Structure 1
Amino acid sequence: MQNSRVLGIALVLIGATLWGVSGTVAQFLFQEKGFSTEWLTVIRLLVAGVVLLSLAHLKEGTKVWAVWRSKNGAMSIILFGILGMLAVQYTYFAAIEHGNAATATILQYLAPAIITCYLSLRFRRLPSFTIILSVVIAIIGTFLLVTGGNLQSLSISGWAVFWGIASAFALSFYTLQPLRLLADWGAKIVVGWGMLIGGVTFSFIHPPWQVQGEWTLSSVAAVLFVIIFGTIIAFYFYLESTTYIAASKVSLLASVEPLSATFLSILWFHIPFGLAEWIGTILILATITTLSIVKDDRK
């Protein structure tokens, strides 16, 4: 039992760290090699979707196709693929392209606060004092992160802030919308179809063969890292960890992602992170921790 728990913790920490690292690798592709957000988004979704569905087919067989014959299944999976999977991938990469991986990842982690507010409104119940305080702390943390404590200017571009917050809303939809699908069909099938649908849809806007960027050995390695380690392996490890430890603990441990993205961005790109930005980061991570604990207690 103890060994299984340790394995679960190791899996989620590795998976979340790979997500954070892949964001910084994507920043390298955008800002130093000239690749576009659109191309990296479409190629990541298409390749990862095919791989995940292939793995699901090996284990689940024809169940992979049965989701399309279920009542409301097809429409739900299409909505998830376009408004969930595609939206969260594109907005996240756009936030990196216009800013950096550190702030993009931290802003995306406002999603737990957004989800909490939405559920309180939907079920018409006042949130607890702890939740209200957590949301206020998250807002203060966001303010410090994007302004550096200076009311007169932003420490990152306005577009980076816009796409980062849009990514948080997209992640909220991505988290809440497919709950019934996940219960019926499992994560590999749902996420695999979501990625493939998102990739195929976005191909009409930006075909995968329209590549922009400088192809070198390092850029090839970076693209492969984002697809293999930052998408397929990271997702698989994260998913596998839920078989060993509670999902609430998994979401709490996944907060290592913004930390890994921040530290690597500072070391690699020398992103200026002053005292105000660090305080903002800590406040947002504190919100994640608090909301995860509150959710766990209510179980």
Structure 2
Amino acid sequence: MDRPKRKTGLLLVIIGATLWGLGGTVSQKLFQQYSVDVNWLVAIRLLIAGLLLLTVQYLLKDRAQIIGVWKKRRTAFPLIIFGLLGMLAVQYTYMASIHHGNAAVATLLQYLAPIMIIFYLLLRRQMILTRKDILTVSLALGGCFLLLTNGSISQLAVPPLAIIWGVLSGVALAFYTLYAVPLLKQFDSLVIVGWAMFIGGLALSTFHPPWQMGDVSLTLEGYIYLGFVILFGTMIAFWFYIESLQSLLPKETSLLGSLEPLAAVLATVFWLQEPFGLFQWIGTACIIGMIFMLALGKESSSKRERKNKQKPLKAS
């Protein structure tokens, strides 16, 4: 493989995953410092980021796909379902978990989605439980317990609402990941995710118009934070992640995507100065270790991955 292209791909995925983690932390700043409404932030984030991704597709890739996805019912209807029950559900539950807790916990709980997918496939008898599966599930559940309790059964270290929304975010991400596969086999990721974001944002806008901010008054700093969440934490993060697939294997991008929860945790602790106990750090290490194990354990040869390259989706 061309070494310069590979280096570029590594740089893109590292930047993309890091921006995803930082985007959640900056969203937390908007909630805490400016009392921004979750519904408003999710709506405006999805609308603008979705339009920007579709613009990238129009300018740099096959523009015919932007309209082509709507020409057949078998792709148009699933796209609407994906936009509402996949994209909107993931974005809203994730942001609600941040609003009631913090970005670090919300991101780590969302990353329980692979474990939920394992349980789903076991129930559908589409996979056999292996020792490695048992180890990854144990790491996830044990890490989650330590993260949420800080080692004390009698008292939760995280608000209950943050936990509920975070777990729902994991469920939504599991659905989001599984449901999108048929669409991704027919259309570019930018088309599917761009439209899904726009559909989700449009649906939420009918209840919470993005032009109605309520009593919120953003300063210049606040608008900079908002711009970062939309442009860097959503649009550019996703674009860079997808572009990295042009020079890296999906396994490599998934592995380096583990930087997202790490970035969220570090930014939450050191920038927002949220307290993290010793056992919470151990729990965080367990969950990140689980993510690395899953990313490293994908079974497929390099040639087959190159031929049937599956573009992984991101929701954060």
TM-score with structure 2 length normalisation? 0.91
Please give the alpha-carbon distance, in whole angstroms, between the structure 2 residues aligned to 1:125 and 1:173: 17
Q: 2:250 aligns with which of 244, 247, 251?
A: 247
Q: Report the equivalent of 1:135.
A: 137
One-letter code aligned to 1:32:
Q
One-letter code aligned to 1:292:
A
Gaps of 5+ in 1: none
Q: 1:266 aligns with which of 252, 256, 269?
A: 269
The sequence identity of aligned pairs, in percent, is: 46
One-letter code aligned to 1:262:
V
Q: Report the equivalent of 1:179.
A: 181
SS at match of 1:65: helix
Judge which range, 34-43 or 211-220, deviates more: 211-220
* CA deviation string 1:146-194 (max 9, x = no partner): 0111000110100000111111111111111111111101101101110
Please give the alpha-carbon distance, in whole angstroms, between the structure 2 residues aligned to 1:234 and 1:152: 39
One-letter code aligned to 2:269:
I
Q: 2:163 aligns with which of 161, 164, 177?
A: 161
Cα deviation, residue 124, structure 1: 4.1
Q: Report the equivalent of 1:226.
A: 229
One-letter code aligned to 1:244:
S
Please give the alpha-carbon distance, in whole angstroms, between the structure 2 residues aligned to 1:169 and 1:61: 32
Cα deviation, residue 76, structure 1: 0.6
Please give the alpha-carbon distance, in whole angstroms, between the structure 1 residues aligned to 2:209 and 2:104: 28
Please give the alpha-carbon distance, in whole angstroms, between the structure 2 residues aligned to 1:167 and 1:25: 18
Gaps of 5+ in 2: 306-316
TM-score with structure 1 length normalisation? 0.96
Q: 1:295 aligns with which of 287, 292, 298?
A: 298
One-letter code aligned to 1:127:
L
Q: Report the equivalent of 1:113.
A: 115
Task: Give the superposed CA RMSD.
Answer: 1.3
Cα deviation, residue 72, structure 1: 1.0
State how many pairs are aligned. Answer: 299
Please give the alpha-carbon distance, in whole angstroms, between the structure 2 residues aligned to 1:189 and 1:269: 35
Cα deviation, residue 113, structure 1: 1.4
Cα deviation, residue 25, structure 1: 0.5
Please give the alpha-carbon distance, in whole angstroms, between the structure 1 residues aligned to 2:156 and 2:121: 31
Cα deviation, residue 70, structure 1: 2.0
SS at match of 1:72: helix
Cα deviation, residue 125, structure 1: 3.4
* CA deviation string 1:202-243 (max 9, x = no partner): 111211112142310110000000001111110100000111
The 5-angstrom pairing of residues 3-22 of structure 1 reads: 3-22=4-23
Give the helix-richer structure, 1 or 2. 1
Q: Report the equivalent of 1:257.
A: 260
* CA deviation string 1:95-152 (max 9, x = no partner): 1000001111111111111122222322343211111121121001000000111000
Q: Is the 8 A contact 1:42 1:206 kept in 2?
A: yes
SS at match of 2:36: coil
Q: 2:238 aligns with which of 216, 235, 248?
A: 235
Q: Is the 8 A contact 1:248 1:296 kept in 2?
A: no
The 5-angstrom pairing of residues 172-211 of structure 1 reads: 172-211=174-213
Cα deviation, residue 297, structure 1: 5.4
Q: Report the equivalent of 2:146.
A: 144
Q: 2:63 aligns with which of 61, 64, 69?
A: 61
Please give the alpha-carbon distance, in whole angstroms, between the structure 2 residues aligned to 1:268 and 1:14: 18
One-letter code aligned to 1:263:
L
Please give the alpha-carbon distance, in whole angstroms, between the structure 2 residues aligned to 1:278 and 1:61: 46
Cα deviation, residue 69, structure 1: 1.3
One-letter code aligned to 2:272:
F
Cα deviation, residue 2, structure 1: 2.1
SS at match of 1:185: coil
Cα deviation, residue 92, structure 1: 0.7
SS at match of 2:298: helix
Please give the alpha-carbon distance, in whole angstroms, between the structure 1 residues aligned to 2:79 and 2:121: 22
Please give the alpha-carbon distance, in whole angstroms, between the structure 1 residues aligned to 2:17 and 2:176: 17
Q: Report the equivalent of 1:280.
A: 283
Please give the alpha-carbon distance, in whole angstroms, between the structure 1 residues aligned to 2:115 and 2:186: 27
SS at match of 2:186: helix
Q: Does 1:39 align with 2:34?
A: no
Please give the alpha-carbon distance, in whole angstroms, between the structure 2 residues aligned to 1:103 and 1:72: 37
